[in-house]
Amino acid sequence: MIDLAAIEAARARLHGQVLKTPFTHSRTLSDMLGAEIWLKFENLQFTASFKERGALNRMLALTPDERAQGVIAVSAGNHAQGVAYHAQRMGVPAVIVMPRFTPTVKVANTRRFGAEVIDPAEVDPSQAVQERTGGRRVELVIEASGSATAFAAIPELARKQATILLYGHGHSGKDLSTMSGVQFLEPTLLTPAGASGDFLEDGRPRTYARALRLLEEGTIEVGPIISHRYTSLEQVPDALARDYRDPSFVKGVVTLGGSLSGSRV
C-alpha cells in the first residue's frame, strides 16, 4: 500500500522536473453529469501524458550504480516516451520493449529520446533483456503495453524478488496463468484494482457501475463514437484479433439484448 509519506516524497523529487499542470473546473461536463467535474491537463506535459511522472519518480530513486546499469520498460507508447525522455535527461541508458501495434509516432519519439526499442514480434524480449543485463534480469518490471508476447515473457524478465507492476488491461491470447511462472521468484506484484475506485456492496467496481448507469439513463450519449457493434460474445474474439486494426474502428461494444449494458470491447 502506498502511504501519504511516499506521495509527499514523490512530490518533492518531481518538484521543478515536470510541469505543474492546470487543474480546471469543466462546466460543460459538470452540467452533463450532474456533478462537479475537474480536469487535470496532464496532456501539457512534454510527452503529453501523466505517465512521465511515475517514470521519473522511479528513476530518481535509483542509486548511482543502478542508474549506470540502465532501465528497461515494456510499453505501447506513453510510459515508453516518459521513460525514454527522462532517462535521456538523466544520462541513464534505456531499453523499451514496444509491441508492433504501437503507433509509429510513439515509437519514433521513443527512439528520438535516445532509447533502444525492441519489438517482441521480431526479437525474443527475454533473451534481449538477459543479454543487456549480463544474465541478471531486472529488478522492476513495468508491463504497460497490453502485448500478449511481452506479458508471457515476464517470468523470464524478472529476477528473484523483483517488483512487477501490471496495468489493468487484457492481453489477447494470454491469461493470468502466465504469472504462475513467477511465483517461485517471490516477487512483489502491483496492479490497479476496482476500476480506479472502491466497490459497491454487490461487489461491482463503483466507477464502472456509475458509468453504466449514466449510459442507461441517457445522460451520456456514446452512440456517435461507436463504430462497431457485436450481438454475441462469440463475435468478440474476431473483434479483438481483427476489427480494431480497421482504420474506421473507434469504439466497439457488445450489445447483448439490444442494450449498451454489455461488456466493452
For residues 130 and 217, membership in a common domain is answered with no
Tell me how crowded residue 255 is: count the other CB atoms within 10 A of its CB: 15
pLDDT greater at residue 264 or residue 258: 258
Question: For residue 162, what is the domain's CATH number?
Answer: 3.40.50.1100
Residue 8 has pLDDT above 70, yes or no: yes
Kindly state whether residue 7 falls inside one of the protein's structural domains. no
- pLDDT tens across 161-216, in order? 888 777 655 555 566 677 777 777 888 877 765 545 566 777 666 777 777 788 77
pLDDT in tens, 89-115: 999 999 998 877 788 888 999 999 999
- Tell me, yes or no, whether 203 and 258 share the same domain: no
**Nearest alpha carbon to residue 90 among 62, 132, 53:** 62
Same domain, 205 and 265: no
How would you list the strands of the sheet with 94-97, edge to edge? Answer: 116-118, 94-97, 71-75, 138-144, 158-166, 188-190
What residue ranges in 150-264 does DSSP mark as E strands? 158-166, 188-190, 228-230, 252-254
Q: Which residues neighbour 215 within 8 Å (Cβ) at sequence distance 6 or greater?
A: 222, 260, 261
* Whole-number Cα distances in Å, 256 to 50, 230, 262: 35, 8, 6
In a domain, 14, yes or no: no
Q: Is residue 13 part of a domain?
A: no
> Domain count of the chain?
3
* pLDDT above 90 coverage of the chain, percent: 23
* 3-state class percentages of the chain: helix first, strand second, coil last, to nearest 5: 45, 20, 40
| Alpha-carbon distances, residue 123 vs 98, 179, 193, 243 (angstroms) | 11, 21, 32, 26
Q: Are residues 84 and 115 in the same domain?
A: yes
Same domain, 149 and 214: no
Percent of the chain with pLDDT over 70: 86
Structural domain includes residue 1 = no
Is residue 203 located within the same domain as residue 111? no
Residues contacting 246, CB < 8 A, separation 6+: 228
List 254's β-bridge partners, or say none.
230
By the 8 A CB rule, do 35 and 213 touch? no
**CA dihedral (47, 99, 116, 189) positive or negative:** positive
Given a cut of 50, whether residue 262 has pLDDT beyond it is no
Closest CA to 124 of 163, 86, 172, 157: 157
Residues 83 and 209 in one domain: no
Q: Which of 137, 170, 190 is the last residue of a domain?
A: 190
Would 38 be classed as within a structural domain? no
Residue 29 falls inside a structural domain: no
Do residues 215 and 90 both lie within one domain?
A: no
Residue 9 counted as domain residue:
no
Whether residue 176 lies inside any domain: the answer is yes
Same domain, 115 and 216: no
The mean per-residue pLDDT over the stretch 65-75 comes to 86
> 63-82 in b/e burial notation, b at 16+ Cβ within 10 A?
eeeebebbbbbbbbbbbbbb
Per mean pLDDT, which range of 116-125, 168-177, 251-260 is the poorest?
168-177
Q: What is the pTM of this model?
A: 0.60
Based on the fold, state whether residues 180 and 106 are members of the same structural domain: yes
**Residue pLDDT, tens place only, 16-54:** 999 999 999 999 888 888 888 999 999 999 999 999 998
- Distance separating alpha carbons of residues 77 and 265, to the nearest angstrom: 20
More confident residue, 9 or 127: 9
If asked whether residues 69 and 181 sit together in one domain, one would say yes
Which residues on adjacent β-strands are paired with residue 198? none
User: Are residue 169 and residue 80 in the same domain, yes or no?
Assistant: yes
Q: Which domain holds residue 241?
A: 226-265
